[in-house]
Amino acid sequence: MAANTYPDPRVSRLINEFAVPVQFNVKEDPGARARYHGYWTPCISYQDVDGAEYRRSFGPLNSEQLLAELSLARGLRFVHSGRFEEGIEALEVALTYTEAVPPRHAENLYWLAAARYESSGEVKDLLDGWEDVRRLHPDTEWDSKTRLLLE
């Protein structure tokens, strides 16, 4: 990631827009693995300023995968703290990045529908959004989650 992903200006722009980044070399600082519960690297944790974690990724990511992860993390950080309007806005922006990574796009659509439902209270917002998940990403984990509730 140091050689290819992080030097990508699209990646640095998004990181700088969303977060203040901290990096630990686990060979120089072996205690970092235990402090941040990441024994397999690369490990990325997206947190708020109080240390609440909203997303975690293990293993190397290319630029497209990291852009999708980061943009989704930003949206979920609002959704899972009850800030649904901000979550909707961030998840709509995230669609631009997750389109290139189908598993993340399915997840993006799932949570966007959930956030819209939580914000409006309208079941139609949930059903319409989840119909998109089922139509665009059939036989995926996220399609399965919609079916468990709807069928």
Partner 1 sequence: MIQAITWRASVEEARMEARQQNKDVLIDLFNPG
Give the range of 25-33, 113-121, 127-135, 142-150 binding partner 1 by CB under 8 A.
25-33
Quick one: residue 131, left, alpha or beta (phi over 0 = left, psi -120 to 50 = alpha)? Answer: alpha
Tokens of 121: 């209270």
94 and 84 Cβ atoms separated by less than 8 Å: no
Distance CA 147, CA 91 (A): 22
Q: Is residue 24 at the binding interface for partner 1, with CB under 8 A as the rule?
A: yes
Q: Is residue 85 at the binding interface for partner 1, with CB under 8 A as the rule?
A: no
Residue of 151, 69, 76, 67 lying closest to 112 (CA atoms): 76
Please work out the total of residues on this chain that contact partner 1, with binding judged by CB under 8 A: 40
Among positions 108-147, residues that touch partner 1 (CB under 8 A) are: none
Among 2, 123, 148, 149, binds partner 1 (CB under 8 A): 2
Q: Which is nearer to partner 1, 2 or 123 (CB)?
A: 2
Helix (H, G, I), strand (E, B) or coil at 80: coil
Exposure string (b/e) for 38-51, b if CB count within 10 Å is 16 or more?
beebbbbebbeeee
Q: Is residue 6 at the binding interface for partner 1, with CB under 8 A as the rule?
A: yes
Helix (H, G, I), strand (E, B) or coil at 61: coil
Q: Is residue 25 at the binding interface for partner 1, with CB under 8 A as the rule?
A: yes
Q: Is residue 20 at the binding interface for partner 1, with CB under 8 A as the rule?
A: yes
Among positions 41-70, residues that touch partner 1 (CB under 8 A) are: 41-51, 54, 70
Q: Is residue 23 at the binding interface for partner 1, with CB under 8 A as the rule?
A: yes
Residues that bind partner 1 in the complex, under the rule CB under 8 A: 1-2, 6-7, 9, 11-13, 15-16, 18-27, 32-33, 36, 38, 41-51, 54, 70, 73-74, 77
